[in-house]
Copies of this chain bind each other. A is one copy, B any other.
């Protein structure tokens, strides 16, 4: 790795090496470095690149640790260079004392802006927004407006939407730069307003914000308080991170992993996040096992059922996981009406029936050929079909039910659903065998 050589060389070598990389690439390199090496690099980078590297780092790689280890002067320079929303995200990860120290060192206006942002919950519109917007008073005329836009956008790379506010900072609408340029000199901003825009309140959940931005194909959305005062704006690139985060949570929860397990966290955290689910599952596994124990006499006479019942229970678990994944994903992309929910359950019933019968037929043929026992085949066919119907019904209806109850449907993880298919998957073949084969 060339980086190692550069780190061990002199500052000039390192500087030259780093010039080849974009800030987001350096942020990725950081994942493999020690705290000392990270500090060394941040100290050598120009302030604007250093701040960009920190804002690009994943929360789980702890950019705040790098920040707090820096010389106070360097640190303050970097923070003042950061966008307010990024600075807030990083600083809010520090403990109370460190927060006060860091904020005390920087420019007072910046500090109060960051303090204001820190009052919003991290996963709401307020926690996501940037306060650094381009806004025009509706009373400005063309040339004033134009030079105001240029002045305000001086330090921004891209400026997205221009917001129009009245004297009390109440949002009045949005204006396009193109319309300002094309207008005559005696036209004021108020004449150029577009008023059919979408906005969000600061306390809206970030997932809802993401849905709005994605549904209306927006590049940015204004954030307002209850009096419609303009607080900031959320841009589509922040939303991409939210979507990735929500999707990670979905895939983890459906697999019985606590949603806040860090993907690259250590084993202690992983145990903390997963052991509770496994213990819940162990309890339900005992429930399923008690079904088996109930049929001990049957199993003693028909040991062959030991093997077959695990096939039927296992297949039920897999079919339920399929139905669950499709239903959970569907719910997370759009809300279903009662009628759609009903049709979904009906569909999964049909799928369970057909897939159950097909697999049941195969098991029937195996019992016929291998055990030369047609009645055993019938028992297995019926049990397989029945359990795959249960799998489809529970896999679809439990997440839909949870959603109606206001509970996150992904919590209906495969761990929970397979309790049903395990119990029914043991009960059906053993009960039928007891009745029909003994």
Q: Do the beta carbons of B274 and A181 come within 8 Å of each other?
A: no
- Asked whether A158 and B219 contact (CB < 8 A) given A150-B178, A303-B300, the answer is yes
Q: A217 on the interface (CB 8 Å rule)?
A: yes
Q: A114 on the interface (CB 8 Å rule)?
A: no
Complex A-B, nearest 9 residue pairs according to Cβ-Cβ distance, in ascending order:
A255-B325, A289-B307, A267-B350, A292-B307, A247-B247, A263-B330, A285-B311, A217-B237, A270-B351
Q: List 15 A-B contacts (CB under 8 A).
A: A24-B216, A32-B340, A159-B178, A252-B326, A255-B324, A267-B351, A270-B347, A270-B348, A270-B351, A271-B355, A274-B351, A278-B315, A281-B314, A285-B310, A292-B306
Distance of A330 Cα from B255 Cα, bound (Å): 14
Distance of A304 Cα from B300 Cα, bound (Å): 10
Shortest A282–chain B CB gap in Å is 5
Q: A177 on the interface (CB 8 Å rule)?
A: yes
Q: A385 on the interface (CB 8 Å rule)?
A: no
Knowing that A150-B181, A247-B247, A251-B325 are A-B contacts, what are 17 other residue pairs whose CB atoms are under 8 Å apart, sorted by A's residue number?
A24-B217, A158-B176, A219-B219, A219-B237, A236-B237, A239-B240, A247-B250, A252-B325, A256-B322, A261-B326, A263-B329, A270-B326, A270-B348, A271-B355, A285-B315, A290-B307, A310-B310
Closest to A258 in B: B322
Q: Do the beta carbons of B282 and A359 come within 8 Å of each other?
A: yes
Q: A354 on the interface (CB 8 Å rule)?
A: yes
Q: A182 on the interface (CB 8 Å rule)?
A: yes
Interface residue SS majority, chain A: helix
Q: A116 on the interface (CB 8 Å rule)?
A: no
Q: A3 on the interface (CB 8 Å rule)?
A: no
Q: Do the beta carbons of B282 and A311 come within 8 Å of each other?
A: yes
Stretch at the interface among A33-41, A90-98, A414-422: A414-422
Contact-size category for A: 35 or more
A332-384: which have CB < 8 Å to B?
A: 333-334, 337, 339-340, 347-348, 350-351, 354-355, 358-359, 362-363, 366
Which residues of the partner chain B approach A289 to less than 8 Å between Cβ atoms?
307-308, 310-311
Distance of A221 Cα from B164 Cα, bound (Å): 29
Closest to A290 in B: B307
A276-300: which have CB < 8 Å to B?
A: 277-279, 281-282, 285-286, 288-290, 292-293, 296, 299-300
Closest to A422 in B: B314
Closest to A388 in B: B278
- Asked whether A351 and B254 contact (CB < 8 A) given A240-B236, A303-B296, A329-B248, the answer is no
Shortest A312–chain B CB gap in Å is 9
Q: Do the beta carbons of B285 and A314 come within 8 Å of each other?
A: yes
Q: A313 on the interface (CB 8 Å rule)?
A: yes
Q: A437 on the interface (CB 8 Å rule)?
A: no
Shortest A77–chain B CB gap in Å is 22
Q: Do the beta carbons of B355 and A278 come within 8 Å of each other?
A: yes
Which residues of the partner chain B approach A334 to less than 8 Å between Cβ atoms?
28
Distance of A266 Cα from B304 Cα, bound (Å): 38
Which residues of the partner chain B approach A158 to less than 8 Å between Cβ atoms?
176, 219
Which residues of the partner chain B approach A292 to less than 8 Å between Cβ atoms?
306-307, 310
Q: A318 on the interface (CB 8 Å rule)?
A: yes
Distance of A306 Cα from B267 Cα, bound (Å): 32
Q: A62 on the interface (CB 8 Å rule)?
A: no
Distance of A279 Cα from B356 Cα, bound (Å): 10
Closest to A23 in B: B216
Q: A328 on the interface (CB 8 Å rule)?
A: yes
Which residues of the partner chain B approach A113 to less than 8 Å between Cβ atoms?
none
Q: A47 on the interface (CB 8 Å rule)?
A: no
Q: Do the beta carbons of B315 and A267 come within 8 Å of each other?
A: no
